[in-house]
Structure formats: C-alpha cells, structure tokens
Amino acid sequence: MTEIDFQQWQDEVAGSPLKDCMRLCDFLPQDVQEWFLILSDQAAGVLSYTWHSQQNYKKAAQRIKGAVSTTKAGLKTDKFFMKALLDIFDYDRALTAAAVFGVEPLRRRDIPKEVYRKEYVENLHRGTYQDYGGHIDRKYVLLRKKFVWDDKTPETAVDAVVSLMESAEKPNKL
C-alpha cells in the first residue's frame, strides 16, 4: 500500500486504541500451558486473564512454571505454587478493580477480623447515658458473605459493581 492509498482510507479506518496486553496464554510455552491446564481447574481463567501489573504477571508466570516443573519431577509441591499463584491472581484482580474507583486495594489478611468503635448512647437499659459515660464500645466483625442482593444491599454497592463490570475488558468472577 502506498502513502497515497493509506491517505485515501485514513478517515474511514477506525479501531479501539491499542492497549498493553499481558496474558499468560500469549507468552508461556505451549507445553507449560498444557501441563497447567491438567493441574488446575482455574488454569483457563488465569491463562486468559489480562494482568494489571507487570510485576504480578511475571510472578504468576514463574509460579506456573514452578508448579509444572515440580509436577514433572514427581514432587508433591504443586499446591504450594498454586496457592501462591491464586493469591497473586486475586490481588491483581483487586488492583484492576481498585483502579476503577481510584483507591488502593487491601489484602484480606490485612483487614482486622474485628474492630471496636466508641458510640454515643443516650439510654442504655432505661438508665441514663451518664451511667455509661455516654459511650459504649461497639464491636464490628468481618464476615465473608455470598454475593447476593437483598433489600439491605446499599444502592451504592450495586452502582459500584455496575461501574466495575462496565470497565472490565472481560468480566470474570466477582
């Protein structure tokens, strides 16, 4: 195609902007991918996932190679690498979601299991609040719940999930 030919089509050819695409299925050797597919029922999702962080992408590739190498050697350490892989996979997904909202993600292990907050209370047990100094320590416990909607689900939570799904190239599990 000559320069003149290209100029003729310049305004008619349009596409989405190019984006860096770090997917393990595009770069890992085929034999490593085949072994990984045998090792894990989550392999297809991990291999086709577009990684947010290049550092996490590289770690994931190494962990997959580690799991495959130890399996080929007859060692029973593949689960060690697989758990480490899924941890970095979940964290990278959290980075992707956090970028949508402009926040930093937290790892579950970094969130306290319970938190106490002082709350002002006027009447406790029909007594006056002065009996209790006007404040009590209310305990909040971190619970893991299923992803379901009910009438107590805040609209802001629904809106946040919609924003996340609309921004995702290919939404995966929540």
**Predicted confidence pLDDT, tens digits, the chain (174 residues):** 455 555 555 555 454 444 568 999 999 999 999 999 999 888 999 999 999 999 999 999 999 999 999 989 888 877 899 999 999 999 999 998 898 889 998 888 888 999 888 877 665 555 544 445 567 788 889 888 888 888 888 898 888 888 877 776 665 655
User: Backbone dihedral region of 86: left (phi > 0), alpha (psi from -120 to 50 degrees) or beta?
Assistant: alpha
- By the 8 A CB rule, do 158 and 149 touch? yes
Same domain, 88 and 134: no
pTM, 2 dp: 0.68
Tell me what percent of the residues of the chain surpass a pLDDT of 90: 34
Helix (H) or strand (E) holding 81: helix 78-101
pLDDT at 129: 46
Same domain, 29 and 98: yes
Same domain, 82 and 36: yes
Whether 12 is in a domain gets the answer no
Same domain, 102 and 151: no
Same domain, 49 and 106: yes
User: Backbone dihedral region of 69: left (phi > 0), alpha (psi from -120 to 50 degrees) or beta?
Assistant: alpha
Q: Which of 37, 34, 33 is nearest to 25 (CA)?
A: 33
Same domain, 98 and 22: yes
Same domain, 49 and 118: no
Whether 165 is in a domain gets the answer yes
CA distance 144 to 152: 16
Whether 11 is in a domain gets the answer no
Residues 6+ apart with CB under 8 A from 122: 129, 134
pLDDT at 18: 45
pLDDT at 33: 95
* Phi, psi for 136 (deg, rounded to 5): -130, 160
Query: Structural domain of residue 130, as residue ranges?
Result: 112-169
Same domain, 93 and 124: no
Residues 6+ apart with CB under 8 A from 42: 86
